[in-house]
A and B are shown apart, each in its own frame.
Chain A
């Protein structure tokens, strides 16, 4: 099983690196987005509940990391739809490997791509005066990997059921934007109305954002923000990932080629 997973993972990464426009888009977009939006909004707003020495650009930083993870993890699973349309998938489906290997190879591929992109931005943190230590970086990357894995599973699950990339984009936008907006990535939940707070509490991505925030800042800086504790965050994201992975394997096992 392991060689099959490694091969499928490797293929995803090679395919990504061979598409130059994808590579440029992947690394340039988040930085531009974060800088323009964060600095523009930062001048106009001051999010309630953020620490005083915490500009919006800084508040928005974990949110941007999450956005990169969310979009690139999920959109990497478009390859599932392309593989089916092009025929590559059927070749894998008749191979003597468990379906879980197929899912794992694909999902780890997407996870890697998302993580790579987010890590590039992570190293831009000192530009906004965020002090990084080896421990912060390691913890943040670990948490981001877990979040990326769960989100790639989510993308896989949806891509598996769809047969057009257009449909995928439509569904994803419907799902992704709210998941991101209502995760504490853009504004802190502390100032939100009650119903919105409940939605945020039910959104697994919010725990991912909180976990990243907890890892990036010393405890004192994040205590006033009403974030769940780090172990809770990690447990929720890990649970989310596990459930989605099982659903992916089940979906892939029930696959019947349209005849």
Chain B
């Protein structure tokens, strides 16, 4: 049995479909990234899995518990780290954890021990007596993590955990998430639109306009793009695209201010392009495929562009 199992999940708002027959599964102990641009439906899915929103049609189970019919069982199995901070800024770090622990039914020596463990684990020991509002963004995110882990959940759900963190804090966060998976065997599911974060997940589900467009390991997904990507910028992109198609028989994709061409041997194509259109080309870039390319390949849009 997989740890997280989503089948045929569809969610409609009055004016649009947020999730369109989404199905995928995450095994126990895996980390899964839900990658997609704003409006792809990943936030809606996150809210359904964290029991904030009731599903309309379709099924979702977490460690065997159904989010529709057994929300309380799901709530005991999951720890949730929201994007907007759930800390009370007028309480100290320790008070925040204590409050959370009591709400989850922990008390006495056991609660104190858990708080101690987590303060040490997330290097918050010397901040314990400080007001949560005084902490840096990275520290606050670590308190959020500690909060989510107090009741020893099997599954940790994180909504855009890297957003708003500086690069150093991102690295620390990533290492901590890896330790949770490796040492504690906690299944993690995180939503993200940051490629670097997605690259470190065991499994990736790419969502666009409410549909799963890719599902696999990051390297599997990248290997589906053959060879290299060549990016060309020019004064008149439309005209250049037409002429590349005409002369070289290739179909460039226009992505923002660049033309993108997939090719098995990038360096050869670059030579040809410069020979043929050297005057028109402003710059030319050779790149190995990234997850962004996977997304572009399937949607014709960049990941950071708003979903139309």
Which residues of A are at the interface with B, using a C-beta cutoff of 8 A?
3-4, 6-8, 10-11, 14-15, 18-19, 86-88, 90-97, 256-257, 259
Contacts and interface: CB of A to CB of B under 8 A. Distances in A.
B88 A88 contact: yes
Given A93-B52, A96-B76, A259 B43 contact: yes
B72 A96 contact: yes
A87 B53 contact: no
B305 interface: no
B254 interface: no
Contacts of B43: 259
A86 B102 contact: no
Most buried by B among A3, A18, A92, A94: A94
Interface stretch (B103-111, B118-126, B222-230, B268-276): B103-111
A7 B103 contact: yes
B89 interface: yes
Given A3-B107, A88-B88, A95-B104, A257 B99 contact: no
Contacts of B80: 90-91, 94
Contact of B51 (A10, A15, A94): A94
A91 B86 contact: yes
User: In the complex, which range does the number of interface residues on chain B fall in?
Assistant: 35 or more
A95 B52 CA distance: 10
A90 B103 contact: no
A93 B72 CA distance: 11
Nearest to B80: A94
B75 A96 contact: yes
B47 interface: yes
Contacts of B105: 3-4, 96
B60 interface: no
B52 A7 contact: no
Contacts of B50: 94
Nearest to B49: A94
A94 B148 CA distance: 11
Contacts of B286: none
B90 interface: yes
Interface in B14-52: 18, 43-44, 47, 50-52
A160 to B, nearest CB: 15
Nearest to B77: A96
Contacts of B91: 11, 14-15
Nearest to B72: A96
A7 B100 CA distance: 9
B52 A19 contact: no
Contacts of B54: 256
Contact of A94 (B18, B78, B87, B90): B78
Contacts of A14: 90-91, 95
B147 interface: yes
B52 A3 contact: no
Nearest to B79: A94
A130 B54 CA distance: 56
Contacts of B246: none
Contacts of A256: 52-54
Given A4-B102, A11-B88, A87 B75 contact: no
Contacts of B44: 259
A19 B90 contact: yes
Contacts of B52: 90, 93-94, 256-257
Given A96-B75, A259-B44, A90 B86 contact: yes
Nearest to B85: A87
Contacts of B107: 3
